[in-house]
Amino acid sequence: MNSPTPKTVGGPDNARLLIDIALQFGATLDLDRLLPQVLTRLTDLVRAERALFALFDDQGQPHRAVLHNLAWDGPGHPLPASQTVISEVLEKGEAVMVADAATDSNMSSRQSVQIHGLRFILGVPVHGRGRVVGVIYTDSKASLTSDITAELETLTALSRLVGTAVENARLFEEQLFRHRLLGKTVHDFRSPLAGMRALTEMIPLLDGVTPEISEIAAEILVGCDRMDRMMEHALELSSIDHGHRVLRPRPLDLLCDLPKQVRQLTTAARQRGVHVQLELPVDLPNVETVPDQLWIVVDNLLFNAIKHARSGTAVTVSARARHDAGPPDARRRSGTLAAALFEREGHIEPAAHSDFVEVTVRNVGTPIPDTLLPRLFMDFTPGAERTSGVKSTGLGLSIVDEVVRHLGGLVWATSTASDGTDFRFTLPTRVEGAVASDRIEPNLTPAQFSRDTAPLPSLGRYAALALSDEPTLPPADTYAPGDEER
């Protein structure tokens, strides 16, 4: 048996065939429909009579096949092909060709040759995931009488296209399974959450309930609201690949809405001995954004800051106006795998001459190592857990990065032992295609805030809002280095 080693794709007709098939593979993931057409053209190419494409498991057993002029009884049954050729292709990972099995000493006594009268046999490996995952096979009762070097080269190139298409289809199926599993899991969470909410709402109505218990019940309801929004976000992400996502940016008054969002994490902050405060200038401009996506960013950054803050210190959320979207390093940073979450819609574009609002989330604790900062917004960044002792999936900051970019801004981080750790992100004040009908009234003054966000005395041009019940912080130099948690 010959094991050819093709070097180039031969002939303009073969090149056109490859281009045509490549375009078909690029246009569909339905390989069950596409592969039979490819096998038909393959038999024409090498002047054969029968063909098949089979996928094999790690033990070398076929578990899926597409056939042309052949029949197969399915997994657990042998393929209707030369087992000798297929075994050699799987073992060597190279193309195997028999020009005339009747005169080949290794093949003349084989069952496929004696019973079926096979003469010309060809098998080509399909590679994927670092091994041979499949075989393209074809045979004929006529022996090979001409040089098919060019055709064999074309077939080898075709096997690479098939391998890529199979891997793409496998990844798509896995992604679709994860989306469906996520959707079903989140949906199943809703019933117990609704039950917990209903029971909690009854607590203040019971006899003998103290104000402290009523306050705890109110905090639980806030947590229920937060969990409900998180499930909405998860369901939204699970439906992205089905084209259900419609995002419409609209004007948002951060001076009014940001304190409400930040307050929802003050209970978690108190449990870790951390004080949360908000500093916003009274003349902070509105932004045009998608609020539910913005709150994903705020929740991730604020919760991370609380987790990594030194006990007894403050986590500060502040904002200011600026004229550009962010520093050059944040602009040049490459995208992440999380980009797939938003790939069906183009990023929101800031309007011409739009200004920006920069939001900063600051905490005090062990600084992030300089070696980690450049990779901080990449998926599954290693090292973050080791610096803090807090377990993490490594996905939160990569999602933050992609969401902020999707909203027309940038995100970056700085961290030093003296100044603490700052995560900053920007949002445009005007974007293309914002919903004009949703425009809001001018910013409220601090005196018009609700009781939950009543302002403390003015700090310069800022209104400082106490978002937890902790006392005012003592000077920073009263904390010893040994208090650090990271």
Q: How many CA atoms lie within 13 A of 49 on its CB side?
A: 14
pLDDT digits 0-9 by tens, 2-41: 555 443 334 556 666 666 666 666 555 667 777 887 888 8
> So what's the pLDDT on residue 397?
83
The superfamily (CATH) of domain 12-170 is GAF domain (3.30.450.40)
> So what's the pLDDT on residue 470?
39
Q: Tell me which of 3.90.480.10, 3.30.565.10, 3.90.1150.10, 3.40.50.2300 is the CATH number of domain 249-483.
A: 3.30.565.10
> So what's the pLDDT on residue 25?
63
Of the candidates 194, 219, 189, the residue with the CA atom closest to the CA atom of residue 204: 219
> So what's the pLDDT on residue 360?
97
Of the candidates 454, 452, 438, the residue with the CA atom closest to the CA atom of residue 252: 438
pLDDT band of 477, cuts 50, 70, 90: very low
Cα(6)–Cα(21) distance, rounded to whole angstroms?
A: 19
How large is the average pLDDT for residues 467-475? 38
pTM exceeds 0.85 for this model:
no
pLDDT digits 0-9 by tens, 192-217: 888 888 999 999 889 888 988 988 88
77-86, 189-198, 329-338 — which is least confidently predicted?
A: 329-338
Helix, strand, coil abundance in the chain, percent, nearest 5? 45, 20, 35
Residue 6 DSSP code? -
Question: Percent of the chain beyond pLDDT 90?
Answer: 24
Estimate to the nearest angstrom the gap between the alpha carbon of 175 and the chain centroid.
10
How large is the average pLDDT for residues 233-238? 64
pLDDT at 428 over 80: yes
pLDDT digits 0-9 by tens, 94-131: 999 998 988 888 888 888 788 788 889 999 998 887 78
Mean pLDDT (the chain) is 76
For 381-428, give the secondary structure using H, E and C. Answer: CCCHHHHHCCCCCCCHHHHHHHHHHHCCCCEEEEEECCCEEEEEEEEE
The helix or strand, by DSSP H or E, that contains position 22, with its residue range, turns out to be helix 12-27
> So what's the pLDDT on residue 19?
67
